Amino acid sequence: AQKVTQAQTEISVVEKEDVTLDCVYETRDTTYYLFWYKQPPSGELVFLIRRNSFDEQNEISGRYSWNFQKSTSSFNFTITASQVVDSAVYFCALSERYGGSQGNLIFGKGTKLSVKP
């Protein structure tokens, strides 16, 4: 069965520190998609990135970077030079269904990141 584990429940850093949020997943499918979402205090989940199982290239977007390693079933998220506005709950998610009529994202429990000034 598919599963997403975010072992870090809460992380607290001081502004300008780098921080890595861990995500480990389980799936029996060879085709799957991984996602990261950010949930600020307002409640809305904001899409950050999508990665398919055939693309292991790491990605960088500004201060954000993602490290996808199939060998360890991990999809970790690093924020460089963190800022107070990065404070939020971050969710990793997995989607196994491709091309079907029903998508189903499986979410981890989330990691609450607090960035202090």
Partner 1 sequence: ETGVTQTPRHLVMGMTNKKSLKCEQHLGHNAMYWYKQSAKKPLELMFVYSLEERVENNSVPSRFSPECPNSSHLFLHLHTLQPEDSALYLCASSQDAGVYGYTFGSGTRLTVV
Assigned token pair, 99 = 């091309």
CB of 114 to partner 1, least distance (A): 16
Q: Is 107 in the site for partner 1 (CB under 8 A)?
A: yes
Of the candidates 66, 95, 87, the residue with the CA atom closest to the CA atom of residue 4: 95
- Contact pick of 30, 54, 57, 99 for partner 1 (by CB under 8 A): 99
To partner 1, the closest distance from the beta carbon of 46 in angstroms equals 8
Q: Which is nearer to partner 1, 41 or 117 (CB)?
A: 41
CA distances from residue 100 to 21, 60, 103 in whole angstroms, order as listed = 30, 30, 7
Q: How far apart are CA 63 and CA 65, in angstroms?
A: 7
CA distance 108 to 103: 16
Separation in Å, CA 44 to CA 47, 68, 111: 10, 25, 15
Site for partner 1 in 58-97 (CB under 8 A): 91, 95, 97
Residue window 4-43: x/- pattern of binding to partner 1, with contact defined by CB under 8 A: -----------------------------x-x-x----xx
Residue 80 or residue 109: which is nearer to partner 1 going by CB? 109
Instruction: Identify the residue whose tokens are 């196994």.
Output: 96
Binding site for partner 1 (CB under 8 A): 33, 35, 37, 42-47, 50, 91, 95, 97-105, 107-110
